[in-house]
C-alpha cells in the first residue's frame, strides 16, 4: 500500500463503548488517483505517483494537464506526491485509492507541516528556563552565554538561538486509527497531528 494524501479537517473527540472520551484528529483521506508508476528500468527507482484534489483548467500549466491526461484524468491534481510501493502490490495509472486502504486499529504515520510561529526567542522556540524574573533582573528571557571566548572565537555550529519557528515538515509515528468513515472519506486518528486546519498531510502505513 503506497499511502494517501489527505487534508486536516480539525480535532474533536469520540467515545468508546465504555464511555471514555478519545481526542482525535479528523482527516479527509483521498480519494487519490494514481498518476504514474515508476520503475527501475524507466526511471531508475520504484515509486507510485499519487495525486489529490483538482485544479481549475485556467490555472493549470499544459505540461501538468498532459501528465494528468495520460492517467485518464479530466483535471490535474492539486497536490502530487510519491510513495514507495509495497511488495506484491500492483497499480495502474488512473486507479483510484480510497480510505478503504486503512482499517480501524491500524497504526499509521502522518506527515505534515507545522504551524508557522514567526521569529521567536529561545524560551518559546527551545524551551529555555530563562533567568531570574524578579529583583530587577534585566535579561530574564535572554539566551545567556554564547559559548567559549577567545578560543575558538566563534559561535559553535548548532547553538540554539532565536530565529524563525515552525513551518517545518514533521512526521508523527505510530498513530492509531480510531474510526474509518468510507462514505465521507474520513479518518479519525487518535491524538494531534502537525499543521493548521485545511493543511495537506501524508498518511502512510506504519
pLDDT tens by residue, 188-200:
999 999 999 999 9
Cα separation, 79 vs 55, in Å, equals: 9
Q: Which domain holds residue 2?
A: 1-27+101-116+166-206
pLDDT of 1 above 70: no
Q: Do 112 and 200 reside in the same domain of the chain?
A: yes
Q: Do 112 and 79 reside in the same domain of the chain?
A: no
Q: Do 7 and 53 reside in the same domain of the chain?
A: no
Q: Do 23 and 41 reside in the same domain of the chain?
A: no
Q: Do 4 and 83 reside in the same domain of the chain?
A: no
Domains contained in the chain, number: 3
Q: Do 109 and 195 reside in the same domain of the chain?
A: yes
Q: What is the pTM of this model?
A: 0.84
Q: Do 105 and 201 reside in the same domain of the chain?
A: yes
Q: Where are the beta strands (DSSP E) in the chain?
A: 4-15, 21-29, 32-38, 47-52, 79-83, 96-97, 107-113, 118-120, 163-165, 169-181, 186-190, 200-205
Q: Do 37 and 51 reside in the same domain of the chain?
A: yes
pLDDT tens digits, one per residue of 12-53: 999 998 999 999 999 999 899 999 999 999 999 999 999 999
Amino acid at each position: 500500500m503506497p499511502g494517501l494524501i489527505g487534508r486536516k479537517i480539525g480535532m474533536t473527540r469520540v467515545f468508546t463503548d465504555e464511555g471514555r472520551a478519545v481526542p482525535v484528529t479528523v482527516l479527509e483521506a483521498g480519494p487519490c488517483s494514481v498518476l504514474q508508476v515508476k520503475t527501475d528500468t524507466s526511471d531508475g527507482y520504484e515509486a507510485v505517483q499519487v495525486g489529490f484534489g483538482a485544479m481549475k483548467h485556467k490555472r493549470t500549466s499544459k505540461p501538468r494537464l498532459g501528465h494528468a491526461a495520460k492517467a485518464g484524468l479530466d483535471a490535474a491534481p492539486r497536490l502530487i506526491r510519491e510513495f514507495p510501493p509495497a511488495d506484491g502490490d500492483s497499480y495502474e495509472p488512473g486507479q483510484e485509492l480510497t480510505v478503504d486502504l486503512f482499517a480501524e486499529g491500524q497504526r499509521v504515520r502522518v506527515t505534515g507541516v507545522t504551524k508557522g510561529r514567526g521569529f521567536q526567542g529561545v524560551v518559546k522556540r527551545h524551551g529555555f528556563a530563562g533567568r531570574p524574573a524578579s529583583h530587577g533582573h534585566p535579561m530574564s528571557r535572554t539566551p545567556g552565554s554564547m559559548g567559549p571566548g577567545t578560543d575558538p572565537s566563534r559561535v559553535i555550529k548548532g547553538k540554539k538561538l532565536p530565529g524563525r519557528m515552525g513551518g517545518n515538515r514533521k512526521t508523527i509515528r505510530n498513530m492509531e486509527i480510531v474510526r474509518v468513515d468510507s462514505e465521507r472519506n474520513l479518518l479519525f486518528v487518535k491524538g494531534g497531528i502537525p499543521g493548521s486546519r485545511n493543511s495537506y498531510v501524508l498518511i502512510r502505513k506504519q
